[in-house]
Amino acid sequence: MTTLQAVRLRTEYLEDPLGIDTLAPRLGWTLTDGDGRRGAAQTAYRILAASSQETLAAGEGDLWDSGIVTSEAAAHIRYDGAALRAEQQVWWKVRIRDERGDWGAWSASARWSVGLLSRSEWGGIWIGRKIGRKPTREQPLPAVYLRRRFASRAGVRRATVYATALGLYRLRLNGTRVGQDALAPEWTDYHVRVQYQTYDVTELLHEGGQCAGRRARAWLVHRLHRHVRLSEVRDGPVLLAPAEHRVRGRDDAVRMHRRNMARELRSDRRRGHSDGRDA
């Protein structure tokens, strides 16, 4: 067996990306030789892709088995397996044959997940808080805190949040910040598209009650993007955050975003909890 092996597996140039927007992503990897042998080269590869990490560990590619492909290519390898669907998770690994005809060990597993690919797959509603005045350069709109409590059943296998805002936002779940993005979701022309982020929050959930909160701030509209009308953000930033749980292998989704987060915020305000800082 050769010591030539694939490392740093990438999907669409990213390591373990979540929520990618293509059903046929490009795969790639970096080669390393444990013996530091000069002249070591790839002459063929074999890729396995599976619907679960357990299936892949068992050596089964229930989504795709590329077979032995004679090629030196280690980038732009297009996924060519079973048809994928929105929100699906894929695990994959690759094995390399060297210039002497010897096969190396399988790489460590990598993964990607498919995002929401059409507007019809977003079941959420935009939420926000009316401020009652238009923003100006001297007096921009204040940050808004929104909070929602929800229940989680036992045996959650995977929990994913898809989040965006017309403006900037920061998401917290059970007191922990979700992601490390700065200035998310980044500025776009809201007439054309709004980018969103995908987060795996499985480790942040616990059985029973949960609390999700977001701090949001509207973009100050100025000449850099003057084609965005003030009327679009004058009442404060608005947010959209579908979330789903996968429970014990079942694919039924529990969508907390169908409940009105803003309605609970108004209720909390009447009880004296105004900003959701403890989310």
Residue recorded with tokens 């955050």: 241
- Ranked by mean pLDDT, the top range of 151-160, 181-190, 211-220, 237-246 is 181-190
Q: What CA–CA distance (Å, rounded) separates 255 from 150?
A: 10
- DSSP for 190-236 reads TTT----EEEE-GGG--SEEEEEEEEEEPPPP-GGGTTS-GGGTTT-
- pLDDT at residue 41, rounded to an integer: 95
Q: What CA–CA distance (Å, rounded) separates 267 from 260?
A: 11
Kindly report which listed range (59-68, 100-109, 157-166) carries the lowest average pLDDT score.
Answer: 157-166
| CATH level 2 (architecture), domain 122-270 | Sandwich (2.60)
The full set of domain ranges for the chain reads: 4-113, 122-270
* HEC-encoded secondary structure of 56-80: HHCCCCCCEECCCEECCCCCCEECC
Q: What is the mean pLDDT of residues 228-242?
A: 47
Question: pLDDT digit string (tens) for 248-258?
Answer: 444 433 333 33
Task: Tell me if 129 sits within 8 A of 146, measured CB to CB.
Answer: yes
Question: pLDDT digit string (tens) for 183-219?
Answer: 888 888 888 888 899 999 888 887 766 677 666 655 5
Q: What is the mean pLDDT of residues 151-171?
A: 83
Task: Tell me if 147 sits within 8 A of 261, measured CB to CB.
Answer: yes
CATH fold match for the domains 4-113 and 122-270: no
Q: What CA–CA distance (Å, rounded) separates 7 from 74?
A: 11
- DSSP for 101-145 reads S-B-PPPPPEEEEB---SGGG-----EE---SS---SSSPPPPEE
Residue with more model confidence, 203 or 71:
71
What top-level class would CATH report for the domain 4-113?
Answer: mainly beta
The pTM for the full model equals 0.76
Q: What CA–CA distance (Å, rounded) separates 253 from 246?
A: 6
Question: pLDDT digit string (tens) for 87-133?
Answer: 999 999 999 999 999 999 999 999 999 999 988 888 777 887 777 87
Question: pLDDT digit string (tens) for 21-38?
Answer: 999 999 999 999 988 888
- pLDDT at residue 262, rounded to an integer: 40
Nearest 5 degrees, angle CA 93-CA 96-CA 98? 170
